[in-house]
């Protein structure tokens, strides 16, 4: 057997500190990116569902809720069923029924936001790791 391979890491503490700084920066900035995307999707869906004759309050039911944990930030966006709105009609309006055509609001809004969200994520990573 030989002597093996020796590895020496120079600047390990500095590298770990840099990654920690990037992690803290990235997390706070990622919250902003997810929140902005969620607001954009919510607003676009509300616009698309405004003026539906048989569901005039459906647009007002669209909301979002952000959740975060160790290593992730998510957002749930869609109609919320409450007594003063028509959130329960969201799936029916979005996808339609055998007797009524769909009025897509959420899915097109999501598709519209996707490239902006991806660009914001790319910009965030470029800032975090120049």
**For the chain, which residues make up each domain, given as ranges?**
12-128
Convert the pLDDT of each residue in 43-76 to its tens digit.
Answer: 999 999 999 998 999 999 999 999 998 878 999 9
Q: ∠ CA 41-54-43 to the nearest 5 degrees? A: 15
Alpha carbon 125 to its chain centroid, in Å, reads 16
pTM across the whole model: 0.81
Q: What is the pLDDT of residue 126?
A: 86
Q: How confident is the model at residue 9 (pLDDT cuts 50, 70, 90)?
A: low
Cα gap 98→14, rounded to integer Å: 63
Burial of 81 (0-12, 13-18, 19+ CB in 10 A): exposed
pLDDT at 7 > cutoff 60: no
pLDDT of 34? 94
Mean pLDDT across the stretch 110-117? 96
């Amino acid at each position: 057997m030989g002597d093996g391979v020796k590895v020496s890491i120079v600047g390990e503490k500095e590298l770990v500190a840099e990654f920690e700084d990037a992690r803290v920066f990235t997390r706070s900035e990622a919250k902003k990116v997810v929140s902005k995307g969620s607001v954009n999707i919510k607003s676009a869906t509300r616009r698309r569902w405004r003026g539906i004759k048989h569901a005039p309050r459906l647009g007002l039911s669209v909301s979002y809720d952000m959740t975060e944990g160790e290593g992730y930030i998510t957002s749930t966006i869609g109609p919320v069923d409450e007594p003063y709105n028509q959130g329960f009609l969201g799936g029916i309006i979005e996808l339609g029924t055998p007797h009524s055509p769909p009025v897509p609001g959420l899915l097109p809004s999501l598709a519209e936001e996707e490239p902006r969200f991806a660009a914001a994520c790319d910009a965030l990573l470029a800032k975090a790791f120049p």
